[in-house]
Structure 1
Amino acid sequence: MHPVPFARPWLAVWLLAAALTPAVAAPVWPPGFAGRTLADAPAIAAQPLTQDAALRRGLVGDAALYSLYREHDIAPDALRDALARLPEPLALRRDVLGAASLGESASFEQRLIDAAAQINAAWLALANAENAVAYRQSLVEAAGAARQLAEAQQAAGNLSQLAANAMLRDAARAEDALAEAQAQHADAQDALAERLGLPPGTPVRTTGLATLPAWPAWLAPTTLAAWAEAHSPALRRAANAAALASKQATRASPRPVRLPLLAHPLATADDAGRLAGIPVAWLDATNAMQSARRDIAIAGRRTTEAWQATQRAQAMQTLATQRSDEAIKHYNGMLLGVYELLDARRATLDAAHETSAALGRFWLASARLEALLGGSLPGPWPPTATATATEPPPAGDPHREHTP
């Protein structure tokens, strides 16, 4: 008869206490408010989500928006039904918000634009994390194959302990990198689940990143700037504020300026009154216009740079694949060793990962540009870019020399 370990009664007590502890209940929203939205959570989590589906769900599932909706008499369930009737893809500006507001609805409009940007960013982060896990898993498999080969060669006396240890070290590092990628993937899942109103730990998935589109003419700096002047809510609101403030302006009578400034007495409050006819609100609105223009120009440039970087990464991936194919031929002809063949395979994996990472950065830059423009781009992204169906950036692009 085996003695019973002393700690086992404590384990039984702990299990009994856990069984009697009530589970954390899911939130129960008032009838007619968000009950049907909450009930959709299992179905949402059961299938990979497109970015469009994530945006639709996030606009009604994120409880952080519910106080805003209540304030404006919008029930998430009713908004869910309205969004379900709209075709894909959902355009925030066209389908949800409508024309930009210059009045009291401006803050509501900006909250939804910010929320949509956060949903899109969370979806893209998860898609990138999924790609990273797949890449690290491939490296673990490649390192495992090299390790098995090294162990076999060492056992046969054909490989030194020093060389074999290098293979074992690489395999261990690949396992560590995979574990880190998996942890980041779990964090990305939780971040998107929060935006979608899903329980923590929900294994939400994406359908993956869209392919690189062809070059759009509307991304040319001058074209983008002209479109933003007419459609950007931030620019329109700032321009409207500047126009209203300018009506209060009166003629200024500045004193002569003597340089250097600090060598002479600065103006006192009474002297500064010479410029009192220039409203501070007008200065603030003008500065806001310049800031909005600058932010949009930078976002457009970064989207351009990300598009170009993705094309370069695709070209490098093609070269890496060609080198790997040639390495196989050389190996079959006994012109190349097995470790060189494995190195060529790892180079192919690295190039593919860099392409997917560059693609993720491009789509994130695009999403940021869309948010700055108020939830709408000047036009759709053209069909997928290919080696024979792309256009370089327009002649006015200051980064034309970097075009692949």
Structure 2
Amino acid sequence: MRGLTLALISTALLGGCASLSPDGGFDPVQTATRSHLQQDVVWTRDDASRDQARSRVDALLAQPLSAEQAVQVALLNNPALQATFYKLGIAEADWVQARSLPNPAISIGRLTRGSEVEWDASLHLVLLRMLTLPMRANIEQRLFEKTRTEVILDVIRLAAETRKAYFTAVAAEQTLRYMQQAMDAAGASAELGQRMAEAGNWSKLKQSREQAFFARTRVTLSRAQMAQMQTRERLIRLLGLKDGASLALPQRLPDLPSELPALPDIERQALDQRLDLQMQRQAAAALAANLGLTRRTRLINVLELGLIYSDSNEEPTQRGYELSFELPLFDWGQARVARAESLYMQTLQRTAALAIEARSDVRESYAAYRSQYAIAKHYRDEVVPLQKQISEENLLRYNGMLIGVFELLADAQTQVASVNEAIVAQRDFWLAQSDMQMSLLGAPIKTPATAISASPVPAGGH
């Protein structure tokens, strides 16, 4: 009895301390965001915080955005992210509710027998819930911590998606400008070919080749325009902007780094940092606690204590208590325990599978990161300079009347195609870098970027 009294006293103290936190558990999310992203994130729950966030967004949009500035705008302005933050409020409310004492039930009755009038009153307490309150609060606390980790992961995923959308949009606009140059060259070549054919200096075959190249270039330009529109709109959505009127992007992608940083023991780093792995471990801990609670309450699932007071105008006052519980005659709780055990073991196996996926993700992302860097560097240092040198040599030959204007135009078209391919390679490197960074913290979202075709290279025969 003494142990029961102590348990009830500790439960009452625990329930008396249950209250919502002023920040809704958001401070650790801000700390983690600064640690992982070096960015700020704000939960705009009042007009003052909304106005402050809006001012920062307007200041950032006043100039062409860098990748990190685009991420900061998204973290401050994306309404879907703000909706995600309310997961914290829901989870914390569940935790506080689990720590709150159950309300007692009061019943009052009046009975008459002849001239006798009897009043009965009783106070009922859900004793089992009070005794298991610390365990239930522990479970909800672990679930709240899991939710907080999930919110942090959502913030980091939004940052990764925004960064990838930014690089894709900048590359699409840069490619579109080069495609317009290719279109100008193809149009000039087609017009000159038509004049040569009208003068009888060209065959129908040569003219048809120039017209076909011009038609293919027009189709490619239309695709580039569509890609530019799609990638820009995706970035606008992630930034939380109503339209793109205030969005300005730089003219070209950032330069490649001079060298890649060394990342030793990258798999161990991923296993230590991955937030999705932390979430699985937190879920396993909550299910382990739930399994312990289920085992302890398998036989007695209902336990109530009632304090009784009975007063009569003819009989002495009666006081007492009653204890009600569920008899385990038919249900011995094996099914509930088996279910809790299965859920726990399922989570353990999912955690092991996720650890394997994490190792594979980071190896794949790191290999793609280094490979895309080598490809982009090859275009920058070899392909584009060689094509530029060829163009300069052909210009000298044209000035010396060794080649005609059609050969010069065809060479310009080829150079534009090479530059476009270099832009795509540079874009793919920055996308691969974003995937690699994300793989260290969570599963990367490897969505294929919108295809940006280079301008078609004209067939021979000019």
TM-score range, shorter chain: 0.5 to 0.7
Q: For residue 47 of structure 2, give the secondary structure of its aligned residue in structure 1.
A: coil
8 Å contact kept, 1:51–1:206: no
CA RMSD of aligned residues (A): 3.3
What is the CA distance between 1:246 and its match in structure 2? Answer: 10
Residues 242-288 of structure 1: CA deviation (Å, up to 9, x unaligned): 8999999xxxxxxxxxxxxxxxxxxxxxxxx9xx9994433222221
Q: 1:233 aligns with which of 272, 275, 282?
A: 275
CA distance in 1, matches of 2:275, 2:367: 20
Residues 178-207 of structure 1: CA deviation (Å, up to 9, x unaligned): 122112211222111111121235373322
Corresponding letter in the other structure for 1:107: E
Q: Which residue of 2 is the match for residue 34 of structure 1?
A: 50
CA distance in 2, matches of 1:52, 1:172: 39
Q: Which residue of 2 is the match for residue 303 of structure 1?
A: 369
Q: Which residue of 1 is the match for residue 154 of structure 2?
A: 111
CA distance in 2, matches of 1:240, 1:107: 11
Matches within 5 A, 1:169-318: 169-202=212-245, 204-207=247-250, 208-219=252-263, 222-235=264-277, 279-314=345-380, 315-318=382-385
8 Å contact kept, 2:372–2:432: yes
Q: 1:58 aligns with which of 63, 69, 74?
A: 74
Residue identity over aligned pairs, in percent, reads: 24
Q: CA separation of 1:316/1:103 partners in 2, compared to 1, >3 Å: closer, same or farther? A: same
What is the CA distance between 1:109 and its match in structure 2? Answer: 0.9
Q: 2:400 aligns with which of 325, 333, 339?
A: 333
Residue 122 (1) aligns with residue 188 (2): no
Q: CA separation of 1:280/1:70 partners in 2, compared to 1, >3 Å: closer, same or farther? A: closer
What is the CA distance between 1:119 and its match in structure 2? Answer: 1.0
8 Å contact kept, 1:225–1:293: yes
Q: Which residue of 2 is the match for residue 369 of structure 1?
A: 436
What is the CA distance between 1:343 and its match in structure 2? Answer: 1.8
Q: Which residue of 2 is the match for residue 69 of structure 1?
A: 85
What is the CA distance between 1:129 and its match in structure 2? Answer: 1.0
8 Å contact kept, 1:41–1:197: no
What is the CA distance between 1:231 and its match in structure 2? Answer: 3.1
Q: CA separation of 1:242/1:215 partners in 2, compared to 1, >3 Å: closer, same or farther? A: farther
Q: CA separation of 1:105/1:129 partners in 2, compared to 1, >3 Å: closer, same or farther? A: same
Taking structure 2 as the reference length, what is the TM-score of the superposition?
0.56
Corresponding letter in the other structure for 1:317: V
CA distance in 1, matches of 2:436, 2:233: 25
Consecutive unaligned residues of structure 1, counting only runs of 5 or more, are 1-28, 74-100, 249-272, 376-404
CA distance in 2, matches of 1:283, 1:31: 45
Q: How many residues align?
A: 293
Corresponding letter in the other structure for 1:117: A
CA distance in 2, matches of 1:288, 1:246: 19
Q: Which residue of 1 is the match for residue 41 of structure 2?
A: none
Corresponding letter in the other structure for 2:247: V
What is the CA distance between 1:213 and its match in structure 2? Answer: 1.1
Consecutive unaligned residues of structure 2, counting only runs of 5 or more, are 1-44, 90-143, 292-337, 443-462
Q: For residue 158 of structure 1, give the secondary structure of its aligned residue in structure 2.
A: coil
Q: CA separation of 1:201/1:230 partners in 2, compared to 1, >3 Å: closer, same or farther? A: closer
Q: Which residue of 2 is the match for residue 320 of structure 1?
A: 387
CA distance in 1, matches of 2:260, 2:346: 40
Residues 340-362 of structure 1: CA deviation (Å, up to 9, x unaligned): 22222222111111111001001
Q: CA separation of 1:246/1:195 partners in 2, compared to 1, >3 Å: closer, same or farther? A: closer
Corresponding letter in the other structure for 1:312: H
Corresponding letter in the other structure for 2:363: A
Q: CA separation of 1:227/1:40 partners in 2, compared to 1, >3 Å: closer, same or farther? A: closer
Q: Which residue of 1 is the match for residue 458 of structure 2?
A: none
What is the CA distance between 1:311 and its match in structure 2? Answer: 1.9
Residues 337-389 of structure 1: CA deviation (Å, up to 9, x unaligned): 222222222221111111110010010011111112128xxxxxxxxxxxxxx
Q: Which residue of 1 is the match for residue 422 of structure 2?
A: 355
What is the CA distance between 1:39 and its match in structure 2? Answer: 6.5
CA distance in 1, matches of 2:360, 2:145: 21
CA distance in 1, matches of 2:67, 2:258: 19
What is the CA distance between 1:290 and its match in structure 2? Answer: 0.9
What is the CA distance between 1:310 and its match in structure 2? Answer: 1.0
What is the CA distance between 1:139 and its match in structure 2? Answer: 0.7
CA distance in 2, matches of 1:307, 1:184: 23
Q: For residue 105 of structure 1, give the secondary structure of its aligned residue in structure 2.
A: helix
Q: For residue 110 of structure 1, give the secondary structure of its aligned residue in structure 2.
A: helix
CA distance in 2, matches of 1:63, 1:321: 47
CA distance in 2, matches of 1:283, 1:40: 45
Q: For residue 34 of structure 1, give the secondary structure of its aligned residue in structure 2.
A: helix
What is the CA distance between 1:295 and its match in structure 2? Answer: 0.8
Q: Which residue of 1 is the match for residue 175 of structure 2?
A: 132
What is the CA distance between 1:116 and its match in structure 2? Answer: 0.9
8 Å contact kept, 1:238–1:289: no
Q: CA separation of 1:140/1:344 partners in 2, compared to 1, >3 Å: closer, same or farther? A: same
8 Å contact kept, 1:58–1:195: yes
